[in-house]
Every structure is written in C-alpha cells, then in structure tokens.
C-alpha cells in the first residue's frame, strides 16, 4: 500500500478527482473538505501488476498551516492539482511544491515523485494557463511530468495516475535494490548496516 497525496488550492477539483477515480462519479458540488479525506484505489498496470494506493485528499486551505507536515508524512507520491481556468491556483503551485519538498522525502532523501495536473480542460473558453507555461513550470520545479485532465468529462486522469504509479514503483524498487545491495555488501565486510524502509 502506497500513500499518495492529492494537494492544491481549494476548488481546483481534488475531491471530485478522488471520487471519479474511486467511484467513477462526478457531482457538481462536494462539501468543502475539512482536514483530510482518505480513499483506496487499486491501479492495474500494463504489465498486469496491481498497485494499491491510499489517496489523501487534503483541504486546499491548509498549505499555510503546520498540519501539512503531519499529512505528508510517509507519502510515496503526490498529485499537485490546479485549475486551468484559475491563474491563482497555478501560481500557488510553486508554494505547494516547495512546501512538499521541504517536508517529505523518500528514504534515500530524494524528493517524492510529483505529477502536475491541470484540471477543468473542458472549460475551453475560460482557460487562462497555456501549455508552454505548464511545461516551463514543470521543468523548473522538478515534476515528473504534467497532464491535462477533465474530471468532469473523465479524460486524462487515468493515464496520469498510471504514469505516476509506475514512476513511483520504479523509484521505490530502485531504493529497495540499493538497500539490498548495501546489506549484501555489509555482510561480506562484516559491518552490518541498518536496513531502511523503501518509501
Ligand atoms: P476541491 O476543493 O479541490 O476538493 O474541489 P472540488 O472537488 O470540491 O471541486 C470544486 C468545483 O469544481 C466543484 O463545483 C466541481 O464540480 C468542479 N469541478 C471539478 N472538476 C471539474 C472539471 O473537470 N470540470 C469542471 N468544469 N468543473 C469541475
Ligand atoms: Mg475537497
């Protein structure tokens, strides 16, 4: 079971995203998330592997509070979501990403894989954030990639989740392999090293 965070400003569509993924439903209005909501989702990968995720849907108003440290603890991956029709929600992604990278690390001290998700691509007329801006931002802030989606029309989310999940599993396997190698080496050299958890 991997813990995956869903973060971003309030009203960008985080709760709708989780409901779409888990129940395949879209409602026009959800109650404002208070604190954090949890949901479980199994992702079927192309190689037949199933990966279990615990999704943490975090209230978007909480970035400025110390609670995020508690919510982020032990996470293996993250979706940072913004609304393509809301410039502030895009501008605030830099603050979200910095907050995340300051507070959570994989066990090899690297940043957790994070996907940038631009939601509400169905609102074509209202869109204010361009593809070029997203690509430049994604590179500058070290995201694994960016995807445009519409939770409402059910486009882009599943591809994004598969990409994030496979990147996350690959990273965790790399860490595990390095740890196994460390342990093997220490047995040979008679110097036991502490084993570390994967993610
Ligand atoms: P949260 O605060 O980030 O959890 O956002 P919500 O999931 O509560 O969604 C905020 C509003 O955006 C709701 O009215 C949703 O119906 C709407 N919404 C979510 N996803 C989409 C989408 O893909 N397209 C459109 N047009 N509206 C969306
Ligand atoms: Mg919510």
* 24-67: pLDDT as tens digits: 888 877 677 666 788 999 999 888 999 999 999 988 666 667 77
CA dist., res. 154 & res. 148, Å (int): 11
Q: Closest Cα to residue 147, out of 183, 124, 120?
A: 120
Q: Could you state, in order of their start, the residue ranges of all structural domains in the chain?
A: 2-181
Separation of CA 167 and ligand 2 centre (Å): 25
Return the number of other C-beta atoms located less than 10 Å from residue 162's C-beta: 15
The pLDDT mean for the chain works out to 88
CA dist., res. 197 & res. 47, Å (int): 25
CA distances from 65 to 10, 71, 156 (A): 14, 11, 31
Q: How confident is the model at residue 190 (pLDDT cuts 50, 70, 90)?
A: low
CA dist., res. 101 & res. 62, Å (int): 16
Kindly state if the Cβ of 30 falls inside 6 Å of ligand 1: yes
* Burial annotation 7-20 (CB, 10 A radius, 16+ → b, else e): bbbeebbbbbbbbb
- pLDDT number for residue 146: 97
Kindly state if the Cβ of 16 falls inside 6 Å of ligand 1: yes
pTM: 0.89
- pLDDT number for residue 178: 84
> In 104-188, where does DSSP find H-type helix?
131-140, 157-188
Phi, psi for residue 9 in degrees, rounded to 5: -60, 165
- pLDDT number for residue 183: 61
Model pLDDT for residues 78-133, shown as the tens digit of each residue: 999 999 999 999 999 999 999 999 999 998 999 999 999 999 999 999 999 999 99
- pLDDT number for residue 131: 97
> What residues have CB less than 8 Å from 125, skipping those under 6 apart?
none
- pLDDT number for residue 12: 96
- Ligand 1 atom 2: residue of nearest CA: 11
The ligand 1 atom at the shortest distance from the C-alpha of residue 27 is 16
- Ligand 1 atom 16: residue of nearest CA: 28
Kindly state if the Cβ of 20 falls inside 6 Å of ligand 1: no
Kindly state if the Cβ of 120 falls inside 6 Å of ligand 1: yes
**Ligand of minimum distance to the alpha carbon of 27:** 1
The ligand 1 atom at the shortest distance from the C-alpha of residue 10 is 2
Q: What CATH architecture does domain 2-181 belong to?
A: 3-Layer(aba) Sandwich (3.40)
The whole-number average pLDDT for the span 66-85 is 92
- pLDDT number for residue 197: 44
- pLDDT number for residue 62: 67
Q: What share of the chain is helix, strand, coil (3-state, %, to 5)?
A: 40, 25, 40
- Ligand 1 atom 26: residue of nearest CA: 120
Kindly state if the Cβ of 119 falls inside 6 Å of ligand 1: yes
Q: How confident is the model at residue 193 (pLDDT cuts 50, 70, 90)?
A: very low
CB 113 within 8 A of CB 82: no
Residue 143 backbone zone (phi > 0: left; psi -120 to 50: alpha; other: beta): beta
């Amino acid at each position: 079971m991997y813990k995956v965070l869903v973060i971003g400003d309030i009203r960008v569509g985080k709760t709708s995203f989780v409901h779409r993924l888990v129940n395949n439903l879209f409602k026009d209005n959800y109650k404002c998330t208070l604190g954090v909501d949890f949901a479980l989702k199994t992702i079927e990968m192309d190689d037949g592997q199933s990966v279990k995720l615990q999704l943490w849907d975090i209230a978007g108003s909480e970035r400025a509070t110390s609670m995020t440290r508690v919510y982020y603890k032990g996470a293996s991956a993250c979706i940072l979501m913004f609304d393509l029709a809301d410039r502030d929600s895009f501008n605030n992604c830099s603050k979200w990403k910095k907050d995340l990278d300051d507070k959570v690390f994989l066990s090899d001290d690297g940043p957790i894989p994070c996907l940038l998700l631009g939601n509400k691509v169905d609102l074509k007329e209202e869109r204010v954030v361009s593809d070029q801006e997203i690509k430049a931002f994604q590179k500058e802030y070290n995201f694994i990639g960016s995807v445009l989606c519409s939770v409402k029309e059910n486009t882009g989310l599943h591809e994004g989740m598969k990409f994030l999940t496979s990147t996350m599993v690959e990273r965790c396997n790399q860490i595990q392999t390095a740890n196994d190698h460390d342990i093997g080496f220490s047995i040979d050299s008679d110097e036991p090293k502490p084993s570390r958890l994967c993610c």
